[in-house]
Amino acid sequence: MTKKTTIYDIAEKLGITAATVSRALNGNPKISEATRQLVSDTAKEMNYEQNKLALALKSGKSYNVGVIVPRIDSNFFASVIRGIEEELYPKGYHVIICQTHDQKSLEIENINSLLNAQVDGILMSISNSGPEENQSFDRLIKKNVPLIFFDRKKEIEGVSSVTIDDFKGGYQATQHLIDQGCRRIAHLSNNRKIEIFKNRYLGYKQAIIDNGLEFDESLVIETTSRVAEGSKSTKVLLDMETPPDAIFSSSDFVALGAIQEIKSRGLKIPEDICVVGFANEPFTRFMELSITSVDQSPVEMGRIAAQVFMEEVNKSKKIKTQKQVVLTPELMIRKSSLKSEVIAH
Amino acid sequence: MTKKTTIYDIAEKLGITAATVSRALNGNPKISEATRQLVSDTAKEMNYEQNKLALALKSGKSYNVGVIVPRIDSNFFASVIRGIEEELYPKGYHVIICQTHDQKSLEIENINSLLNAQVDGILMSISNSGPEENQSFDRLIKKNVPLIFFDRKKEIEGVSSVTIDDFKGGYQATQHLIDQGCRRIAHLSNNRKIEIFKNRYLGYKQAIIDNGLEFDESLVIETTSRVAEGSKSTKVLLDMETPPDAIFSSSDFVALGAIQEIKSRGLKIPEDICVVGFANEPFTRFMELSITSVDQSPVEMGRIAAQVFMEEVNKSKKIKTQKQVVLTPELMIRKSSLKSEVIAH
């Protein structure tokens, strides 16, 4: 068996101190990029294998970052994760992912598992069920492990977040439906204790009021982001004495369920009823009846969340800052809501 | 500050030894289920917080399991992961996920990151690019960390796998197209160094030969599993002097790209050309022109992979076994390939 390469071997080869090698390998900001690169290349060349666990225990850094999302099988969350990875991989970080299936208990267990796996930070979108407690987040904050929320966030002092302007997204979608001549617009919402769903709802409501239309709370139904739930809620809407002439859904999956139910009754989209979703999932444009939706620039959201993490992980632990980045949504108008060829703003 | 609960406090309360409490909390099989439950409930009641990292270092168990997939934004892989979670969560295990984006270098780094995070095992589907080396797997095997392949596997002695019968899937799909009257069937394949793609191709080829049709290698194109790649390859096929009358794709995403290209030329599906995909992604049935595809029962695949992991993690490290589970695929016949109403076998 050959002798394992140590940092002393690398130091000797390069004529620098072992401490410098160690600092360079651990990404200490005091080391110049050129030196870091040289040490890194030499280490690779000499087959130096860093004992990352020992390193983690010593430096408190594992170069693993945890990402927690409600579900991975959504293009939106997968794209945010792609953005995070694109930003962090070149900086030597690895991304490990957990999903909560929107269950608070799993969210808590995920946080604990990731802490036990010694992650350097957690970037997450919270689940939309369960009690309003912050215990699990407290543990992170006490441990000084950076926590950054994206999309679905919670107001916690000192915790940064990257979101889109959901109020504006809801407002734009509803204004577009009104511009298409719709007057009785229903809203398929989700748990409005979650800010993003509350804000989409408030944007929808404000657009209705601003246009002098009657706001009818009975046209607002809370669902979960599943196709079957969309069909179920749409049944209720279509069975009303005066059914809606448009549906704005806070989820593309729910919008898809709505479309299935509308079609099954022989109603025409967009002639009889317009449908708008939210998130711009790829299937919304793949469908023959393409679905109007609100784009949330998820890759950019992920990249920015990762940048905020890098700022936090590199800053002195004594400085507490809180950053709130808000991105602007973009309405993608497609067949499911386009009655006339005149494209509204 | 209140004193932290220790295993001695729990032992005292229950009138059992601290060793029994420790064994119960660590899932030692010598402890009865009733005792385990009692200890667990009492520990919860007394707010006992297990130091999982210390436990991991001591017992060598972290109760974290790593799952590595090429991509998370595919319903197939997301469903396998769901199956793994459904099986492992009730047993106290947590699932942390990494994606390779089909890059060998990321696959190696993922394995190392998960090992550094002290996972008890890795369940994975290999990436389809990069050199044919087993180094990263060797590290796992040397460390005695259970490794189980699902779907995309590699032949490594002592490593178990759960796959579907891809040859049969390819054969069934092609036979169905022949039964629909297709005579010049193209195949959009993927890297055939990966067994699943090789076997789907071999199944396709065998069906053509068994039916006395001419096998034409120029009708086989290798792509990657992306929509745009499907369109690009289909361009090549449709520009041939004698274009195919059917396309069997080893990926639903590629099939979708093929459909987009075919439609853009004003050709009719299935009248002019039939299309069959593979994996039964949900969008294949959501489309107005629903896509025929091969179902791989991914949730079941995940559950079985997790069961194999549990067997391996609980067995004596001296016993080397290798289990190969092969599931049967199911052809889901839909509009994209159904010329006649007579449903073939």
DSSP states of A159-225: -EEEEE-HHHHHHHHHHHHHHTT--SEEEEE--TTSHHHHHHHHHHHHHHHHTTPPP-GGGEEE--S
pLDDT score for A53: 47
pLDDT score for A34: 87
Residue percentage of chain A with pLDDT more than 90: 57
Q: Which of B97, B225, B231 to mutate to test the interface with A (most CBs of A within 10 A)?
A: B97
Asked if the Cβ–Cβ distance from B72 to A286 is below 8 Å, we say no
pLDDT score for A51: 53
pLDDT score for A318: 62
Quick check: A71 and A101 in contact, CB under 8 A? yes
Tell me the average confidence (pLDDT) per consecutive run of 10 residues in chain B, 345 residues long.
66 85 79 86 76 53 92 92 94 93 88 89 85 74 88 88 96 97 97 92 98 96 92 97 97 95 95 96 86 95 95 75 90 92 46
CA distance A233 to B99: 35
Q: How confident is the model at residue A342 (pLDDT cuts 50, 70, 90)?
A: very low
Mind listing the pLDDT tens digit for each residue in A261-303? 999 999 999 999 999 999 999 889 888 899 999 999 999 999 9
Dig out the tokens for B175 from the structure.
């036979």
pLDDT score for A45: 80
Give the residue with greater pLDDT, A127 vs B176. B176
- Please classify residue B187 by burial: count the beta carbons closer than 10 Å to its beta carbon, then call 0-12 exposed, 13-18 middle and 19+ buried: buried
Dig out the tokens for A27 from the structure.
């990404």
pLDDT score for B129: 66
Q: In what order do the strands lie in the sheet with B185-189?
A: B220-222, B185-189, B246-249, B274-276
- The yes-or-no verdict on residue A345 having pLDDT over 50 is no
Residue B328's contacts (CB-CB under 8 Å, 6 or more residues apart) are B164, B165, B168
Give this complex's ipTM.
0.74
Contacts 24+ apart (CB under 8 A), B51-59: B52/A112, B52/A116, B53/A116, B53/A118, B53/B118, B55/B26, B56/A116, B56/B118, B59/B26
pLDDT score for B94: 92
pLDDT score for A80: 96
Chain B: nearest CA to A55, how far in angstroms? 10
CA distance A326 to A151: 10
Distances (CA, A) of A46 to B16, B81, B112, B297, B304: 54, 38, 18, 46, 41
Domains of chain B are 7-50 (1.10.260.40), 62-164+297-327 (3.40.50.2300), 166-296 (3.40.50.2300)
pLDDT score for A49: 64
Query: Could you tell me which chain B residue has the CA closest to the CA of A53?
Result: B116
Mind listing the pLDDT tens digit for each residue in A195-244? 899 999 999 999 999 999 999 999 999 998 889 999 999 999 999 999 99
Closest CB to A98 among B75, B96, B289? B96
Mean pLDDT of A34-44: 86
- Spell out which chain B residues touch chain A, with contact meaning CB-CB distance below 8 angstroms: 52-53, 56, 62-64, 66, 71-75, 78-79, 81, 85, 89, 94-99, 101, 106, 109-110, 112-114, 116-119, 227, 256, 282-283, 286-289
Give the residue with greater pLDDT, A338 vs A154. A338
* Dihedral over Cα of A175, A179, A183, A184: its sign: negative
- Spell out which chain A residues touch chain B, with contact meaning CB-CB distance below 8 angstroms: 52-53, 56, 62-64, 66, 71-75, 78-79, 81, 85, 89, 94-99, 101, 106, 109-110, 112-114, 116-119, 227, 256, 282-283, 286-289
Asked if the Cβ–Cβ distance from A94 to B79 is below 8 Å, we say no
Pairing of β A293-295 and β A330-332: antiparallel
CA distance B95 to B66: 6
Quick check: B194 and B186 in contact, CB under 8 A? no
Query: Could you tell me which chain B residue has the CA closest to the CA of A257?
Result: B286
- The yes-or-no verdict on residue A1 having pLDDT over 60 is no
Residue B262 C-beta-side C-alpha neighbours within 13 Å: 24
pLDDT score for A133: 67
Terminal alpha carbon distance of chain B: 71
